[in-house]
Amino acid sequence: MIKKADLPYFYSMIIIIGAGLSGLLTAYRLKKAGIPFKILEARDRIGGRINTVYGTDITPVEMGATWFGNQHVHLRALLEELGIEYFKQYMDRIVYYQASPTSPTESVQIPIQAPSYRISGGTSNLIHTLYQKLDENDIILNQSIKQIKSLGDSIQVITDKVYVGSQVVVAIPPKLWAKRILFEPNLPADLIQIAQQTHTWMEDSIKIALTYKDPFWEAEGRSATLFSNAGPITELYDHCNSERTKFALCGFINSSFHQLDVAERRALVIAQIKSVFGPKAEDFLEYQECVWSMEENTFEASDIPHFPHQNNGNQVFRHSYFGDKLLFSSSESASEFPGYMDGAVCSANLAASQIIASKINPLERTDR
Ligand SMILES: Cc1cc2nc3c(=O)[nH]c(=O)nc-3n(C[C@H](O)[C@H](O)[C@H](O)COP(=O)(O)OP(=O)(O)OC[C@H]3O[C@@H](n4cnc5c(N)ncnc54)[C@H](O)[C@@H]3O)c2cc1C
């Protein structure tokens, strides 16, 4: 039994679960409104599915979210608000194409694409900018939430510690909270069922990147783009920085290669790029990869196979529960572009505005 006298200083605060884009932006909006909060994050890093790796020569390579387009208005507005620059993804018109493992590599012309953009300095620039707007002790890392309990007009969030707040924003993908967190009292059965069957975008993808001292493909007049059904690489793109002073190729490999160990995957990737881009492709500085299905704070097995974006944006995620004390955020909850960074921004904007507009103003609850 927890006594009021034992409650930690979190009591009158909003507790945000998850320090991905959605959780961090919710926090930033609350901070601007003067509402106290804490973020509890399971990993030992912030950013969630956004993770730029800089490597030894500080070439930014994306292991998670990378591209966005003109249609992603919430994200673009946020970048403008924060003064973060972005640049057009370099894209060849003539690309390499491997139709099957047995067919020869072809050079094919692709139609003109709508532009896609990348964040200057790497996508984590957005995460670090939001982080810098917060105080260091606003975020507590290595806190994996196991249980959430509604108790009168407060709400408890339980890891190996107990945090008590006035409202909780669960800013993690629906399938994760529905399968990992015990809610007391039970949440509506239909909400849990929909959440358990909500696809987490890119949760089983494998991202790879190779950094180079020089862009050998440019010097040789080669395309940097590959689309392949010959495996393991399925897509590969130019991944130089905005100033084109750091050089890399980055893309995806088929998720079925997750069972191999790093050395085996790396050897297959190198063999494929060498066969397509020639011997200089082997002179890379570093190989980076992220197998997202091995990331326990992103991936969760599904009971039945889900189609991409299944149940993403379902309106049940935008209702509040436990008498307005419990809200859900995360990209997959968003009404627009769920699954994408834009969805995470949209979702965070909504959760923060609901709290700010809420009659339960935690600043007035300090006597409780
Ligand atoms: C490989 C890959 C490529 C992608 N490419 C693109 C792209 O090009 N463009 C695009 O728009 N989007 C892309 N996305 C999607 C984009 O990354 C997400 O939409 C966005 O980052 C989601 O943010 P979020 O805050 O909603 O969730 P997340 O980033 O998943 O954040 C959730 C946070 O909650 C934490 N957490 C989980 N469980 C718990 C728990 N029990 N207790 C406490 N904390 C917990 C996690 O560690 C994580 O930090 C990509 C994603 C991946 C993985």
Q: How do residues 143-174 score in pLDDT, each as one tens digit?
A: 999 999 999 989 999 999 999 999 999 999 99
pLDDT recorded at residue 57: 86
Sequence-distant (≥ 6) Cβ neighbours of residue 176 within 8 angstroms: 200, 297, 298, 300
Q: Of 202, 32, 34, 54, which is closest to residue 130 (Cα–Cα)?
A: 32
Bond into 232 cis (ω within 30) = yes
Domains 4-48+126-201+300-365 and 52-120+204-294 share a fold: no
Which pLDDT band, with edges at 50, 70 and 90, does 365 fall under?
very low
Choosing from 38, 39, 49, 183 the residue with most ligand 1 atoms within 8 A of its CB, the one to mutate for a pocket test is 49
Q: Of 261, 260, 279, which is closest to residue 270 (Cα–Cα)?
A: 279
Bond into 215 cis (ω within 30) = no
361 sits in which H/E element? none
Contact status, residue 26 vs residue 35, Cβ threshold 8 Å: no
Spell out the domain ranges in the chain: 4-48+126-201+300-365, 52-120+204-294
CATH 3.90.660.10 fits domain 52-120+204-294: yes
Q: Which CATH number fits domain 4-48+126-201+300-365: 3.20.20.70, 3.50.50.60, 3.30.300.30, 3.30.300.130?
A: 3.50.50.60
- DSSP, residue by residue, 175-243: HHHHHH-EEESPPPHHHHHHHHT-PPTTTT-EEEEEEESS-HHHHTT----EEESSSSEEEEEE---TT
Which pLDDT band, with edges at 50, 70 and 90, does 358 fall under?
confident
pLDDT tens string 329-356? 999 999 999 999 999 999 999 999 999 9
The first and second tokens of residue 254, run together, are 């088929």
Q: Ligand 1: residues within 6 Å at CB?
A: 17-23, 40-43, 48-50, 64-68, 143-145, 171-173, 176, 180, 201-202, 205, 207, 292, 297-298, 330-331, 339-344
pLDDT recorded at residue 368: 30
pLDDT recorded at residue 2: 54
